[in-house]
Structure 1
């Protein structure tokens, strides 16, 4: 990837459909998520569609799915195919894998395979959707593997649009995505680079504290239009957090165009913008 050719790196881009007509979630959860985000664009672009979308904007994107097969009973999309598609579009796409932590040793083995054979740069985990407490020592062998492999662990935090508005939220428990659970992981694995996805509402103050306390923890800004960011987060984007936050949209439910237009309404120091949009992610992902 030619870093000079891209103006931004979106670190949070979902692959919701593969080339075989399979989707990342069942219809009910897909519809609930789209309604929550008021998404009016194509919800299920292919990997090549995603690449074209970002190429047109001179942006790069981290692409991934979420393997929550144990908790949901819904088969996951193939992280191998996502990595292959990213390799086909390596001018703009950066592959992350996903494994189901509840599969124990098999998840560890698969993580090693995805790095060694497919070159993924990190892994996406969604504690609420995958139904696991990230600070449970049962999952520490997976983090040990991530740390040894030198890959990034991107954890969903806070509210989720998946299951939103459904009875019981379809059984999805928000408490698993409390960022304070990741403080334990960050302390116990100081060499593991962790990204807390989203502004972590309703726990934004905890997320800010963790990001400023732990050198190995970052925040991405995806999943919320910036005009809705909590004010304490906005105040610190250009100061304490300027080297700890990363641009992310949550494509396809939030597009980079929609996110950027909203971000332009914020008062953020100009010198912080290149860090947030590109430089922090390039450093974290060891690009270039």
Structure 2
């Protein structure tokens, strides 16, 4: 069997620059992200000044494709405007990545849907004019010590977005869940609203981003009962590196209830580097007594096959198309570069 075709299900060219951070919440959000940097980058770390910056799109993509076995990326723009002036990952960055490298990039556009009609107009523009492949939604905002949030089953806030997605032919909607960052109330991250939307919009694939971080019991029942609900393991995939027994339990539950076609790899890069995560997964095995084992076919589905299917990508055809592009030629000449080479200016 060929090596897995790897599509990173969620990764970000962050703008962490201090001037992009908004007040106390921006600093708190950034501090949480930084607190994980040493833990999740065992090969090589950066100092905070090097890390806390505006990541440019080309250095981001070169980091992903030349320093790990990643073949494609799914970039999520983020509307965290309460913490960052540009939302942390701007629409402009996602659109540029999609425009310049369409065969290597899937891009999910975003908007602050509390804004109502302007948000819908922005999403329409991102899909029809800028080429967004999906929509990323973020349910919570934090202001003056208070969390406000919407639910996916809200007829007035969320359903118009889903109706627009149907109208535009967008079939993949990813929703940040299960992971409060900073002093966000936990109930804003619950997932009991997803079943309502999944039943009402059966033609939309709902990706639970950060699935498994919290609310695992609810997640596995959603996977079992709704054919259009998927578990995207951004941050949760770190358990493969940091807590292999916990990762085995997580994967056992998700695979038993949802099946191997429901689980999507995501690195959360560029906070963790993708390379140690992929290497950890390559060396990971379920306990011998488990009835769930990670066959090569299941690994390939998790690492890229499932997301490719949701976007109508023929893996072998895309692999052949990418074989002669600039990234492939550079990889062939130099092999994998060390982690953070692009950021730290290490020669190939």
TM-score by length of 2: 0.71
Per mean C-alpha deviation after superposition, the further-off stretch among 139-148 and 223-232 is 223-232
User: Quick one: distance in 1 between partners of 2:52 and 2:213?
Assistant: 24
Pair member with larger Rg: 2
Picking from 61, 66, 72, the partner of 1:51 is: 61
Residues 184-204 of structure 1 show CA distances to partners (whole Å, capped at 9, x for unaligned) of 111111111110012343201
Picking from 77, 80, 85, the partner of 1:65 is: 77
Aligned to 1:287: 313
User: Quick one: distance in 2 between partners of 1:91 and 1:73?
Assistant: 29
Structure 1, unaligned runs of 5 or more: 164-168
Picking from 132, 152, 166, the partner of 2:150 is: 132
Aligned to 2:299: 273
User: Quick one: distance in 2 between partners of 1:32 and 1:135?
Assistant: 29
Per mean C-alpha deviation after superposition, the further-off stretch among 213-222 and 259-268 is 259-268
Residue 155 of structure 1 contacts residue 197 of structure 1 at CA under 8 Å; is this kept in 2?
yes
Aligned to 1:11: 9
Mapping for residues 1-288 of structure 1, pairs under 5 Å: 7-17=5-15, 22=20, 26-36=26-36, 38=39, 40-41=45-46, 42=51, 44=53, 45-56=55-66, 57-69=69-81, 71-72=82-83, 74-76=85-87, 77-129=89-141, 131-139=149-157, 140-151=159-170, 152-160=172-180, 162-163=181-182, 169=183, 172-224=184-236, 225-227=238-240, 228=243, 229=246, 231-236=248-253, 238-239=255-256, 240-263=258-281, 264-267=283-286, 268-270=293-295, 271-288=297-314
User: Quick one: distance in 2 between partners of 1:55 and 1:73?
Assistant: 27
User: Quick one: distance in 2 between partners of 1:95 and 1:159?
Assistant: 21
Residue 48 of structure 1 contacts residue 89 of structure 1 at CA under 8 Å; is this kept in 2?
no
- Displacement of 1:83: 1.0
- SS for the counterpart of 1:155 is strand
Aligned length: 275
- Displacement of 1:78: 3.4
Pair 135,15 (structure 1): closer, same or farther in 2 beyond 3 Å? farther
Residue 51 of structure 1 contacts residue 89 of structure 1 at CA under 8 Å; is this kept in 2?
no
Pair 237,68 (structure 1): closer, same or farther in 2 beyond 3 Å? closer
- Displacement of 1:5: 10
User: Quick one: distance in 1 between partners of 2:28 and 2:278?
Assistant: 29
- Displacement of 1:217: 0.9
Residues 111-151 of structure 1 show CA distances to partners (whole Å, capped at 9, x for unaligned) of 11100001101111122347322222222111111122232
User: Quick one: distance in 1 between partners of 2:203 and 2:52?
Assistant: 36
- Displacement of 1:54: 2.3
Structure 2, unaligned runs of 5 or more: 143-148, 287-292, 315-348
- SS for the counterpart of 2:109 is coil
- Displacement of 1:232: 4.2
Residue 178 of structure 1 contacts residue 200 of structure 1 at CA under 8 Å; is this kept in 2?
no
TM-score by length of 1: 0.84
Pair 61,43 (structure 1): closer, same or farther in 2 beyond 3 Å? farther
User: Quick one: distance in 2 between partners of 1:15 and 1:243?
Assistant: 27
